[in-house]
A and B are shown apart, each in its own frame.
Chain A
Amino acid sequence: MKQYLSPLVRSLKPSGIRKYFDLAATMEDVISLGVGEPDFATPWVMREAAIFSLEQGQTMYTSNAGLIELRRELSKYMAKHQGLTYSPDNELLITVGASEAVDLVMRALLVPGDGILIPDPSYVAYAGSATISGAEIHYVPLRAEHDFRLQVDDLKLAYTPNCKILVLSYPNNPTGAIMTKEELLPIARFASEHDLIVISDEIYSDLTYEGTHTPFATLPYMRNRTLHVSGFSKAYAMTGWRIGYVAGHRDLIQAMTRIHQYTIMCAPIMAQVAALEGLKSGESAKKEMILEYDRRRRIMVNGFREMGLTCFEPLGAFYVFPDISATGLSSDAFTEQLLKEEKLAVVPGIAFGPAGEGHIRCSYAYSTQQLLEALSRMERFVKKRL
């Protein structure tokens, strides 16, 4: 039946992690550092708010853009904590996870043949959505020698005149890199000069462990050019609820809302209620989780360096991205052998793009005890190969 499939869909690559997922599933006592979601359960205040709303029978559709109460609270929150000013009435759209938001932007803006600049390595969904839109993907390598910060020189090399969108994602999955305001400014200038729309996926922004996060849209002249994408999954430990959002110029938000209206209707109401409660009273639980991630982050970086691997210090998200090239193995071979020998699952850097080669992504969204056990398995494995 494959002949019926759209050529665009046929060109979608299978996920690079599938094979390890299947392999790990057949093994017992596997410790995994391969998970891109918090180990915490959603803070109880938020779960409780959703339960109460269900008891009250709050089970209907919401407006397409999302509960107005949630948009209002979100607008206030963004203004207070991030210096972003978006009207809850027409500049904010609540989506089913940040992934839907990314997809909507691409669908609303791209036609086949348009170019899109995507950092490499990066979260796998950007290329997926771009492919479905028929866009021409131009990868911009992020380099270890620059701590995986996007460099204008690399942008210039990747750019062609058909490019319409630049994807930015800091704090970054899979590297854990962040970019400061000063480092983002040249990128902003480049976007202006080349009339690019920027999808800034800032889902990990609260998980910044040094300095303060700079939302891209707060840079000079960037507000109208930026679609600020974020969500509740990471910082509020709400992955399974699927609540994300996109903020931007009302013309663009309106167009995206139209697509969202036809395909999704609205994000689930109980999840919106929980997110609203998170904004109102989840701050202290969130801060506690962030402190805990920071502690684990340091344990991981130290652990990798102690065993003799180069590991740049990730200052955001909950991943470390150590360089495993000294073992002489490709990231794929490293991952496979590590899983078979030590029953330790990680994600090969290559799964996030060619420039991820030579690295592995390890999540530290695990208990200290699990992390220490994982590090000791990793050390045994690495020591044999150095």
Chain B
Amino acid sequence: MLSEEDRRLLHILSQDCRFTPEELAIQTGLSPDYITKRINQWEKDKIIVKYGLLINYEKLEEDRVTALIDVKVLSQRGQGYDKIAQRFQRFSQIKSVYLMSGDYDLCLVVEGKNMHEIAQFVSDKLSPLELIDTTSTRFILRRYKQDGIEFYGEEERPKRLMITS
């Protein structure tokens, strides 16, 4: 179980991972030494997997398309989903692989330059794989919110009074 302090530390890091241990110490009341040790341990244990960046590519006008590909797998005796999932995750085009409940078994998040490139990937690489029954590809048209962040949020809020008691 995470202690309340550790949970708070992870929460602050998940909001902004650029803080130094000294800055984190000020904000949490923990010592910089403790924080350094804790973060090192989390990195070693792969609890902190990666320090990320969230980019709004639409504003850069970059060619970039993301698709959600639902995959139905032919079930085989004695084989779980792990094997095929591991196979998927090796493709660099596939950014995420999830095991799902519902009509389809796995959901893949695939990135490419354009729709054509992703279509090519599906027909050349995915569909021919044995064990795949059917796929359904849906393209993301616009990102409004991701990882809790609104890309096109409220306009700046009306200002508060400058001084109130």
Report A's interface with B, CB cutoff 8 A: 15, 17, 20-21, 24-25, 30, 32, 34-37, 39, 41, 123-125, 173, 291, 294-295, 298-299, 302, 345, 347, 351-352
Q: Give the docked Cα–Cα distance between A39 and B163 (Å).
A: 13
Of residues 1 through 58 on chain B, the ones whose CB sits less than 8 Å from some CB of chain A are: 8, 11-12, 26-29
The one of A35, A41, A123, A124 that contacts B157, using a Cβ cutoff of 8 Å: A41
Told that A32-B162, A41-B154 touch, could you supply 10 new A-B pairs with CB distance under 8 A?
Answer: A15-B165, A17-B164, A34-B163, A35-B160, A36-B165, A37-B164, A124-B165, A125-B165, A295-B8, A299-B26
Of residues 145 through 165 on chain B, the ones whose CB sits less than 8 Å from some CB of chain A are: 154, 157, 160-165
A25 touches B162 (CB 8 A): yes
B164 touches A36 (CB 8 A): yes
The one of B12, B27, B154, B163 that contacts A20, using a Cβ cutoff of 8 Å: B163
Name 18 interchain pairs, CB-CB below 8 A, sorted by A. Answer: A15-B165, A17-B163, A17-B165, A25-B162, A32-B162, A34-B164, A35-B160, A35-B162, A36-B164, A173-B165, A291-B11, A295-B27, A298-B26, A299-B26, A345-B163, A347-B163, A347-B165, A352-B165
Q: Give the docked Cα–Cα distance between A345 and B12 (Å).
A: 28
Minimum CB distance partner of A44 in chain B? B154
- A41-B157, A295-B12 are contacts. A35–B26 as well, Cβ < 8 Å? no
B27 touches A21 (CB 8 A): no
Q: Which residues of B have CB within 8 Å of A34?
A: 162-164
B27 touches A35 (CB 8 A): no
A35 touches B164 (CB 8 A): yes
Q: Which residues of B have CB within 8 Å of A24?
A: 162-163
B163 touches A35 (CB 8 A): yes
Q: Give the docked Cα–Cα distance between A124 and B165 (Å).
A: 7
Q: Give the docked Cα–Cα distance between A351 and B11 (Å).
A: 37
A123 touches B26 (CB 8 A): no
Q: Give the docked Cα–Cα distance between A295 and B157 (Å).
A: 23
Q: Which residues of A have CB within 8 Å of B161?
A: 21, 35
Q: Which residues of B have CB within 8 Å of A298?
A: 26-29
- A291-B11, A295-B27 are contacts. A345–B162 as well, Cβ < 8 Å? yes
Q: Which residues of B have CB within 8 Å of A39?
A: 160
> Shortest CB–CB separation between residue B78 and chain A, in angstroms?
43
Q: Which residues of A have CB within 8 Å of B163?
A: 17, 20-21, 24, 32, 34-35, 345, 347
Q: Give the docked Cα–Cα distance between A351 and B165 (Å).
A: 9
A37 touches B160 (CB 8 A): yes
Q: Which residues of B have CB within 8 Å of A302?
A: 26
B162 touches A30 (CB 8 A): yes
Q: Give the docked Cα–Cα distance between A123 and B154 (Å).
A: 33
Query: Lowest 4 CB-CB distances: which A-B pairs, in order?
Result: A34-B163, A295-B27, A302-B26, A36-B164
> Shortest CB–CB separation between residue A92 and chain B, in angstroms?
26
Q: Give the docked Cα–Cα distance between A36 and B163 (Å).
A: 7
Q: Give the docked Cα–Cα distance between A352 and B163 (Å).
A: 13
Q: Give the docked Cα–Cα distance between A32 and B154 (Å).
A: 22
Q: Give the docked Cα–Cα distance between A34 and B162 (Å).
A: 6
Q: Give the docked Cα–Cα distance between A294 and B154 (Å).
A: 25
Minimum CB distance partner of A174 in chain B? B165
> Shortest CB–CB separation between residue B50 and chain A, in angstroms?
23
> Shortest CB–CB separation between residue B144 and chain A, in angstroms?
14
> Shortest CB–CB separation between residue B123 and chain A, in angstroms?
42
> Shortest CB–CB separation between residue B6 and chain A, in angstroms?
13
